[in-house]
Amino acid sequence: MDSRLFAPHVSALKALNAKGVFGLDQDPMICKVSDERTKTFQFYSGVNLTTNSSISPAGRSIRRFEGVDESGNKLHLKETRGIFADSYHKGGDFYGESKGIGRLIPTVLAHGDVTGRWQTTDSHEWCVGELRKQFRVHRHYLIVLKVGGPLSKFRITEELVTALRDALQAHTEAYRKGILHRDISIGNILISENGGGLLIDWEFSKPIANPEVRVMARTGTWQFMSAHPLLNPSGAVEHALVDGLESFFHVLCYVILVHCQHKFPKQLLKSHLKSVYDAWFLEEDNEEDNEDNEDNEDGKEGEVVGGYAKRRALANCFMAEEPRLPHDPLRDLVIALEDVIGVRYKMPPTQKARTIYEGLRAKYDMTDEELEEQPVWRYDETMRKLNESSQWMLDTFNKALEDPRGLKAKPVRRKFLSTNCKRIRKTLKARSNRGSTNQGDSGQAGGSGSKRKRTDVHGLGSKKARKGGC
Instruction: Specify which of 322-331, 409-418, 435-444 reaches the highest per-range mean pLDDT.
Output: 322-331
Phi, psi of 51 (to 5 degrees): -140, 130
State the average pLDDT over residues 272-287. Answer: 81
* 111-115, 292-296, 367-371: least confidently modelled range: 292-296
Please list, residue by residue across 219-233, b when 16 or more beta carbons sit within 10 angstroms of its beta carbon and e when fewer do.
bbbbbbbbbbbbbeb
Whether 279 shows a pLDDT value over 70: the answer reads yes
Average pLDDT, the chain: 76
What is the per-residue pLDDT across 55-114, written as a single tens digit (0 to 9) for each? 555 555 678 777 777 777 778 787 877 666 555 566 666 666 665 676 788 888 887 887
Residues forming beta bridges with residue 43, ordered by sequence position: 32
What is the per-residue pLDDT across 109-165, written as a single tens digit (0 to 9) for each? 887 887 766 556 666 666 777 666 666 676 778 888 887 788 999 999 999 999 999
> So what's the pLDDT on residue 409?
97
* 213-227, 229-243, 372-386: least confidently modelled range: 213-227
For each of the domains in the chain, give its residue range(s) and CATH number, in order of start: 3-290+301-467 (1.10.510.10)
Phi, psi of 203 (to 5 degrees): -70, -20
Contact 163, 40 (CB under 8 A): no
> So what's the pLDDT on residue 55?
55
> So what's the pLDDT on residue 89?
62
Whether 257 shows a pLDDT value over 70: the answer reads yes
State the average pLDDT over residues 324-331. Answer: 96
Whether 288 shows a pLDDT value over 60: the answer reads no
Does the pTM surpass 0.85? The reply is no
Q: How buried is residue 142: exposed, middle or buried, by Cβ count under 10 Å (0-12/13-18/19+)?
A: buried
> So what's the pLDDT on residue 449?
32
